[in-house]
Amino acid sequence: MTVPAMTAPAAPQMRRVDLEPQFRAYEDEILAAVRRVLGSGRYTLADEGAAFEAAFAEYLGVPAFVGVGDGTRAISMVLRLLGLGPGDEVLTVPFTAFPTIAAILDIGAEPVFADIDPDSYLMTPDTMAAALTARTRAVVPVHIFGNVADVAGLQARLVGLGREDVALVEDAAQAHGSRRNGALAGSLADFATFSFYPTKNLGGYGDGGGIACRDPEAAARLRRLRNYGFVDKDTVTEVGINSRLDELQAAILAVKLRHLDAMNARRRVLAALYAATLPALGFALQAIPREVETNWHVFEPRTAPETRDRLAAACAAEGIQTNVYYAVPHHLQPALAHLGYRPGDLPGVEAVCAGGLALPLYPELPEADVHRVIEILRRHAE
């Protein structure tokens, strides 16, 4: 019997996020940084990491920034620093990248889910308050797709409920350069966590993450925890882990940080092209509060589920990649069945998951490609 050869699916002609053009745009700067690191002979916890931490802290306007191995560890390390563990609840939203939830589980705590506003896709003070319990020790609002949650409003509601004991930790993994009332995401709470995964607005060429801190002493402890708990080469004061942002990634990120605001400005231009047309085709855009300047990490409008699926298929047939965030609402994932959530429990999340369609958007995307996507959507919209 002859087994037919398997043919790999053709690569899309237009990716939702294409990383090669960004490398080409900054190739000389990036390669110079890589050569500098390789020539130094120092690849972990050296000058490049310290320089990037200082530069990103200055950019955010916070006292300290600690580079770590990835965004998941960034969250779990903050929760551990706050003393959380088994028996504690951490409140977040299931409309997020799954690592937000995995970080909570990693320390043995239990994730509890608040619903989102189906227009902004964000946790609100009302949805947070509805999900708080006596066991809630921390709240992790997610600045999803670059839209920035009302951290001050969340904090005020906690105070009003007499829950000053609950810590607020921003998940800013998708919000590099986004602002609310002029303040950058990542500077709004005592702690904020970032991912530098390659597809992020500030992305490296592998895994990476970090933690913004208002308290320098907390930052010093996080630096010990990321390196097994060493205070010097001979002394371990508490057992930590291995979660270090390596020198190559730090050097590359430092290059891209210099261009972050310009790249985000270009994203806004492209998003505006979509926004000028899509509502007439039956799409509802993610609502961005007037006090927010988003980085448009992802451009995912929503429409009726059956329309979404038809338009996604039409784009694929034309060689255009789209994505759905998130095809299975995370509170309904099989791995989280033990938490007891059922369909209908979080209607805001489920509505966005059912109708969202993420379209191509990255800084180097030609405007002609945006118009091509719009024209395909127009032809196939009812």
CB 289: neighbour CB atoms within 10 A? 16
Distances (CA, A) of 340 to 50, 60, 329: 44, 38, 14
Average pLDDT over the chain reads: 96
- pTM of the entire predicted model: 0.95
Query: Average pLDDT, stretch 87-108?
Result: 98
Residue 296 near residue 243 (C-beta atoms within 8 A): no
Identify any residues that bridge with 210 across adjacent strands, giving them in sequence order.
Answer: 67, 194
Instruction: Looking at the structure, tell me whether residues 305 and 207 fall in a common domain.
Output: no
Q: 3-state DSSP call for residue 359?
A: strand
- Residue 73: predicted pLDDT: 98
Instruction: Looking at the structure, tell me whether residues 236 and 289 fall in a common domain.
Output: no
Instruction: Looking at the structure, tell me whether residues 226 and 179 fall in a common domain.
Output: yes
pLDDT surpassing 70 at residue 6: no
- Residue 2: predicted pLDDT: 45
Nearest to 275 by CA among 305, 296, 297, 304: 296
Query: Average pLDDT, stretch 74-95?
Result: 98
Instruction: Looking at the structure, tell me whether residues 146 and 266 fall in a common domain.
Output: no
Q: What contacts 41, CB < 8 A, 6 or more positions away?
A: none
Instruction: Looking at the structure, tell me whether residues 34 and 153 fall in a common domain.
Output: yes
Residue 278 tokens, joined: 């899509």
Round to whole Å and give the CA distance between 181 and 214. Answer: 19
CB 16: neighbour CB atoms within 10 A? 20
Given the DSSP bridges, would you call strands 183-184 and 179-180 parallel, antiparallel or unpaired? antiparallel
Single residue among 210, 231, 257 that ends a domain in this structure: 257
Q: What is the pLDDT of residues 343-364, one digit of tens each?
A: 999 999 999 999 999 999 999 9
| CATH number for position 107 | 3.40.640.10
| CATH number for position 330 | 3.90.1150.10
Instruction: Looking at the structure, tell me whether residues 206 and 280 fall in a common domain.
Output: no
Query: Average pLDDT, stretch 107-116?
Result: 98
Host domain of residue 292 = 260-380
Q: Which helix (H) or strand (E) holds 230?
A: strand 230-232
Instruction: Looking at the structure, tell me whether residues 152 and 286 fall in a common domain.
Output: no
Classify residue 107 by its DSSP letter. Answer: T
